Amino acid sequence: MTKLTLSRSIFWTTIAFLFLPLVVLMIFSFNDGRTMVWKGFSWRWYESLFTNQPRLWMAVSNTLIVAFTASTVATVIGTLGAIAINWYRFKAKTYVRAMSFLPLILPEIIIGVSLLIFFRMLGLELNLFTIILAHISFTIPFVLLMVMARLGEFDYSIIEAARDLGANENQTLTKVILPISVPGILAGFITAFTLSLEDFVVTFFVTGSGSDTLPIFIYNQIKRKLPPEINAFSVVLVGVTVLILFLARRSIKYFVQRS
Amino acid sequence: MKSRSGSLYSLPLTTWISLFFLVPMLIVFVYSFLARETGGGVRWEFDLSAYAEIFRQTASGSFIYLDIVGYTLIMAVSATLLTILIALPCAYYIARSKNNTLLLFLVIIPFWVNFMIRIYAWVAILGQSGILNESLLAMGVLKEPIQFLFNDYAVLVVLVYTNLPFAILPLFTTIEKFDFGLLEAARDLGASHNRSLWSVLLPNIRGGLVTAVLFTFIPIFGTFAVPDVMGNSNVFMLGQLITSKLKFTGDYPMACSLSVLILLLSAAGLVVYTVYNNRQEQQHQVVIAEDEL
């Protein structure tokens, strides 16, 4: 029997390390003071979070607009592309494959720099629109990856079968290919959405004044002094994330079982 | 299948990646060879001065840019090493546990909080009036608060923190596939516990190790936010340098040539990775072929 004592203690220490910031945020979201000194229990930051932080909520709404638009477009482009790469022959396939996976491995800063220079060259004004364009670009590879992984589980013969049974091109797409790819599409959309919510680096480059997303807003505030409501906000954020992920898992399971 | 629908389905993707990956990168490449226009932008004449600047030595004998590249390399290598050293035993423990889904979840949950909020939480812990100082003061260990922020150690801690899951996940995937019976065989043949881990387990999970190293090293090498918030403001990492050149000084050729440098270094890493993977695959195929004989 191999001894696991050392790896066990390292693992649990690591988990403690990973959870430390979370626990700190959670405890101090209930602190009745502005600083990191405990002054007693209070809900006041939760109350003022919903009443006194219009710029924070503006940033949240920007983040959601960007994430929703970008991940939807990225999902459509990525899904069609994955179907083409997996099951069809077309010109420039090697180019498309190599090029679309490049951003997965390049440092994000390269994407930010190149897009900023590109947008400036085109004379585009930097605002939510440029952020959305950038987010579509860096999330497409992840949708591709997820949908291709799902399509890889199926044999090409199911398409041949559909054709033999008389389905035309459109019917094959809508009645066979799309339904079986749903779990992959959902996973791709969720990944794209999360990455878009999280993104700081690329957004930092292509953002203009007045179009702050949440990470940019927090970054600008860290340099000065963050409002104490941020602690309460993080707790709300984790709660909402847990809820959404739970629902997402349920819906993916549902689709997997159905197909 | 008819190639017509293939081209149709791939058209949006092909257009998008050409317009938003290929063209911008080509522009970066071209700009790095152009002259700087004072007040931002470029002048369209061939000019190697941005590259010359990278290798320029000052009168006192120091290299401004190469020193930053060197410092970035040291930071990235140390952070990657630390991350892998912590991630390996963790991944091993998860792989050998019966509840590995639950344990993996534990690793991932902290990352549901926004990246920037996590950095802020570290500021709240390490800062001058942060938790660490307040507790040490309260316990009487310290008389004066210490600034734990704005140094290399703070940057390393947070870099390791943000990158741990990206190392743990690929390591877990390969260790899980490892046949632990081999370890017992090594022990039966007289190898010590550590020896069996070192000469049997490690060589067998090399693929996962390489992936984990790449997944942590490349992002850290281009990192900007962590050193900017947590680091010493007198030294720059490469990402900060590019950002300041582009957003504040408007020195496009310089920002572009530095980006090309990062691009080349990442590409070199990838080539090594692909060559290595292909060799592994060929070896694997040889083994399978021998099995079939």
Identify the CATH number of the domain in which residue B247 sits.
1.10.3720.10
Over residues A39-57, mean pLDDT: 87
Cβ(A103)–Cβ(A195) below 8 Å? no
How many Cβ atoms from other residues are within 10 Å of residue A15's Cβ? 16
Cβ(A91)–Cβ(A80) below 8 Å? no
CA distance B61 to chain A (A): 30
The predicted structure's pLDDT at residue B283: 67
- At A135 the three-state DSSP class reads helix
A14 falls within a domain: no
Mean pLDDT of chain B: 86
A34 DSSP assignment: S
B16 falls within a domain: no
Residue A139 clears pLDDT 90, i.e. is over it? yes
Q: ∠ CA(B273), CA(B276), CA(B277), 5° rounding? A: 85
Structure tokens at A105: 């491995």
Return d(Cα B105, Cα B284) in angstroms, integer: 32
Over residues A202-214, mean pLDDT: 90
Return d(Cα A82, Cα B6) in angstroms, integer: 10
Residue A204 clears pLDDT 90, i.e. is over it? yes
Return d(Cα A100, Cα B284) in angstroms, integer: 28
Chain B residues touching residue A170 (CB < 8 angstroms): none
How many domains would you assign to chain B?
1
Cβ(B217)–Cβ(B183) below 8 Å? no
How many Cβ atoms from other residues are within 10 Å of residue B54's Cβ? 18
Tell whether B198 lies on the interface with A, counting CB pairs under 8 A.
no
A154 falls within a domain: yes
Return d(Cα A131, Cα A116) in angstroms, integer: 10
A202 falls within a domain: yes
B277 falls within a domain: no
- At B35 the three-state DSSP class reads strand
Higher pLDDT, B179 or B277: B179
User: What is the ipTM, given to two decimal places?
Assistant: 0.86
Give the whole-number percent of chain A exceeding pLDDT 90: 37
The predicted structure's pLDDT at residue A1: 43
Amino acid symbol at B231 = G
A15 falls within a domain: no
Identify the CATH number of the domain in which residue A188 sits.
1.10.3720.10
B287 falls within a domain: no
Chain B residues touching residue A218 (CB < 8 angstroms): 114, 116-117, 120
B47 falls within a domain: no
Give the whole-number percent of chain B exceeding pLDDT 70: 94
Tell whether A213 lies on the interface with B, counting CB pairs under 8 A.
no
A241 falls within a domain: no
Chain B residues touching residue A2 (CB < 8 angstroms): 96, 180, 183-184, 193
B78 falls within a domain: yes
Q: Which of A2, A21, A114 sits opposite B28 (nearest CB)?
A: A114
Mean pLDDT of chain A: 87
Q: Which domain holds residue A136?
A: 59-212
A113 falls within a domain: yes
Residue A181 clears pLDDT 90, i.e. is over it? no
**Largest alpha-carbon pair distance within chain B?**
78
Contact A24 B96 (CB under 8 A): no
Return d(Cα A234, Cα B49) in angstroms, integer: 47
Cβ(B140)–Cβ(B212) below 8 Å? no
Rg (CA), chain A: 23
Residue B291 clears pLDDT 70, i.e. is over it? no
The predicted structure's pLDDT at residue A17: 93
* Partners of residue B34 on adjacent β-strands: B46
Cβ(B233)–Cβ(B189) below 8 Å? no
Give the whole-number percent of chain A exceeding pLDDT 70: 98
Q: Which domain holds residue B138?
A: 64-268
B281 falls within a domain: no
Tell whether B23 lies on the interface with A, counting CB pairs under 8 A.
yes
- At B44 the three-state DSSP class reads strand
The predicted structure's pLDDT at residue A259: 63
Return d(Cα A231, Cα B28) in angstroms, integer: 40
* Element (DSSP H or E) covering residue B45: strand B42-46
Chain A residues touching residue B127 (CB < 8 angstroms): 36
From B133, B124, B120, select the one nearest B162 (Cα to Cα): B120
How many domains would you assign to chain A?
1
